[in-house]
Structure 1
Amino acid sequence: MSIKAILFDHDGTLVDSEPEHFRIWRKVLSGYGVDLSEQQYRDHYAGVPSRANAVDMVSRFSIEAEPDSLVREKVLAMSDFISRTSFPLMPGARETVRRFHALGLQLAIVTGSGQEVVTATTRTHSLLSLFATVVSGDDVQRNKPHPEGYLLAMQRLGLSAKECLAVEDTEAGLNAAAEAGIDCLVVPNDMSMHHDFSRAREKFARMDEVGEWVERRLL
């Protein structure tokens, strides 16, 4: 394989953030008389950018508010959370990132989350120096499952789709990578294990399996 770069998703792939996203969305919706269940979050909202979630929530639950109002509440709650702490890394994430970096691969993060969320992760876990670039939701007009984030990452790295691999945990992320022409490896989590991953190059149970798979094809 002529792989030169690994492009990681952030939420649910590098960090275990979905439980906190669910908690915050549940709190936001409670203000509108909606009791969001974990199953509803799993089925409709896990791994989906905030504005797309808000648009669906307003329609699904007949909320008398603009989607942008829900997004603002979500962003404020998330900013408060990351001002005090950061998301924990997913099992094997740190080791896999360092493993790829040691192999001389360029690394990037491509996420629908805002820049401040990603910065909290890379700062807290001392990972910033390992990534060549970060494409956040603040950098694009169209978020996942649109491929814009991945296309921008490739442009910044100066690489083609055939020289990159993506690592994702959700159907929306997989589709974004696939639409950009990038082979995608998926590591589902508890919130996304029911998603359709038929477009994935390979599917793994753990992040360390991703590292082993890539290294076997590079050596």
Structure 2
Amino acid sequence: MTLNPVSSSARQLAVSDKTTTLLFDHDGTLIDSESVHFDLWKDILLKYDVELSEDFYCEVMAGIPVKQNAVDLVEHFNISIAPQQLAQQKHKSISDYLDKQAFPLMPFAKETIEHCANKGYTIGIVTGGSKNSVEKTLSQYGLSAYISCVVAVEDVENSKPAPDCYALAMDKLGKIPGECVAIEDTQTGMTAALAANLACVVIPTDLSKHHDLSGATVGYKSLKDWVDCELVF
């Protein structure tokens, strides 16, 4: 079962008058990176005579940290390489990409961050991706001043779908779950947020629209739709 983003006339709001803090996922939520990750994985796997399909990527890999992606790929396609080595190849390909440019922003991402900051919300980024990727985004697009906390895959032993990353972000910010809302795009991210007892907004992409997002507090078609519905007051 997938989530049908709600209309403005029939919705449960995630943001309330108790909300002080907005915790954004990075890949797929603030940056349009999943298609890049898909292409990078495709190039890597061709060396092992594996043709990665978009369906497999969407169903098994989207929103999952690289370490687990590598395990799943080796097991499913019976690739003759240690998962750790495969993950290292992917990390290098990401590093090479980020040496040249940041990932492109999702539509209305910069405006969303600026609007949330102007409304007085504390903003954090909680990602299953690398800190380097987040830092590149913040520096290239001039967003560093708005972000109070970044928790990345390097910061926790168990990344998403475990709740550890969100728990660490709240600890760093001195917040409790009732003050925070998570904004995610995948089932994996939503699961992490819900396990941390957070309200969760989901904004699926084309690569995650078939995920089971029915557990989310609310869903929207885009960041702009969410801002217009919940953050205009």
* TM-score (norm. length: structure 1): 0.97
Shift of 1:208: 1.0
Which of 104, 109, 123 pairs up with 1:88?
104
Distance 1:115 1:47 in 2: 15
Matched with 1:128 is 144
Gaps of at least 5 residues in structure 2 are 1-15
Shift of 1:86: 1.1
Q: Does 1:52 align with 2:68?
A: yes
Q: Give the letter for the 1:57 counterpart.
A: L
Gaps of at least 5 residues in structure 1 are none
Could you list the per-position Cα deviations for residues 48-72 of structure 1 after superposition, in whole angstroms to 9, with x for gaps in the alignment? Answer: 1111111110100001111101110
Q: Give the letter for the 1:152 counterpart.
A: L
Q: Give the letter for the 1:51 counterpart.
A: K
Q: Does 1:160 align with 2:176?
A: yes
Q: What are the equivalent positions in structure 2 for 1:2-41 lying under 5 Å apart? A: 2-41=18-57
Could you list the per-position Cα deviations for residues 166-194 of structure 1 after superposition, in whole angstroms to 9, with x for gaps in the alignment? Answer: 00000000000000000000000000000
Q: What are the equivalent positions in structure 2 for 1:101-112 lying under 5 Å apart? A: 101-112=117-128
Could you list the per-position Cα deviations for residues 84-124 of structure 1 after superposition, in whole angstroms to 9, with x for gaps in the alignment? Answer: 01111101111111111001000000001111111111111
Distance 1:195 1:147 in 2: 19
Percent of pairs with identical residues: 39
Matched with 1:75 is 91
Matched with 1:147 is 163
Matched with 2:190 is 174
Which of 193, 199, 202 pairs up with 2:215?
199
Distance 1:88 1:29 in 2: 24
Q: Give the letter for the 2:224 counterpart.
A: D
Distance 2:76 2:57 in 1: 12
Could you list the per-position Cα deviations for residues 22-42 of structure 1 after superposition, in whole angstroms to 9, with x for gaps in the alignment? Answer: 011111111111111112111
Q: Secondary structure at the match of 1:52?
A: helix
Could you list the per-position Cα deviations for residues 125-164 of structure 1 after superposition, in whole angstroms to 9, with x for gaps in the alignment? Answer: 1101100000011111101000000000000110100100
Aligned residues: 217
Q: Secondary structure at the match of 1:123?
A: helix
Distance 1:41 1:32 in 2: 17
Distance 1:84 1:26 in 2: 20
Distance 1:78 1:167 in 2: 23
Distance 1:81 1:51 in 2: 18
